[in-house]
Amino acid sequence: MNRKDMKAGQDITVVSKGTRHNTYSEGTWIDETQVGRTSFLMVTKIGVKYIHGKYFHFEDGKRQECYWEDKINADEVLIFHGIRQDLQEAYNQKRLEREAFEKERGQARYEIEREINQLKSAKFDEWDKTHPRPKPLDLTNLPYFNVTTIPPLTLPQVNTNK
């Protein structure tokens, strides 16, 4: 959609291309989870680089305006005339599919790690049976604990006749 076709007060649908900017450097990357994310905007001002507008959404079929305004770089998003809820429904469907996949992947990771830990534990048990642990140090057999080698304690004689 061309910026010249837009007017203040017009409703547009903004679809994210997933472009994200690094806060500390000039780099950008594509966030795959944000590609196709849909927002609805009422245009308040059209600038040279940015489109300013106020967000709104639908709750129980009724339009609910948000309290904040934002500026959008038109080069980083796709813009469509009017309210395109079909685009939002397509994004939500893909989001649900992605969440289901991530949940299934997490469960598979847990099962695989559990099997690996059980195998590791069984192998260590086998190794412990064939390699007994050394006996701990017996402190009673040390030379300084042997009663026969300790010289008797002699107390100094105190002269009490003074």
Residue type, 119: L
Domain count across the chain? 2
Token couple for 90: 């397509």
- Does 56 share its domain with 109? no
Residues 19 and 76 in one domain: yes
Q: What is the pTM of this model?
A: 0.63
Nearest to residue 66, comparing CAs of 75, 76, 55? 55
Euclidean distance between CA atoms 90 and 66, whole angstroms: 23
Same domain flag for 73 and 120: no
Amino acid 10 reads: Q
For residues 13 and 68, membership in a common domain is answered with yes
Q: How many CB atoms lie within 10 A of CB 103?
A: 10
In a domain, 58, yes or no: yes
Q: What is the pLDDT along the chain (162 residues), one digit of tens a residue?
A: 666 778 888 888 888 888 777 777 777 777 777 888 888 999 999 888 889 999 998 888 898 888 888 898 888 888 888 888 899 899 899 999 999 999 999 999 999 999 999 999 999 999 999 998 888 887 777 766 555 555 666 777 777 776
Residue ranges making up the domain that contains 120: 97-131
